Amino acid sequence: MLLSAGLACAMATAEECEPAEWRDIAGLVMPYMDEQSYVDRVVMQGPSSDYAPQMLLDNLQGVTFPPEVRQQLDLLRYCLVTVAAEAE
């Protein structure tokens, strides 16, 4: 299982979505990125985006990850969008 319990995202209903924080996403992708890409796309972008998880997910769109990691990132994106839509 790639995600910790805190990162779990159920797609059954919007009420079950628990969006991840910046550090959770960074920890998920770190093992799959070379050091320079990680620094450029994750570490350096954190302060300028106020550590917004959606910004990090957007910044990782062009990066190739194993299918199971990409699936987890897509689920996290779904949760962030769902929670944001409910807040409006």
Q: Which two tokens stand for residue 61?
A: 């769109």
pLDDT given at position 19: 64
pLDDT of residue 26: 93
Q: Which two tokens stand for residue 43?
A: 């570490």
Given a contact cutoff of 8 angstroms between Cβ atoms, the answer to whether 68 and 2 are in contact is yes
How many CB atoms within 10 Å of residue 57? 19
At residue 49, the pLDDT reads 86
Cβ atoms of 79 and 9 closer than 8 Å: yes
pLDDT digits (tens, 9 = 90+) for 44-86: 988 888 888 989 999 999 899 999 999 989 888 888 877 666 6
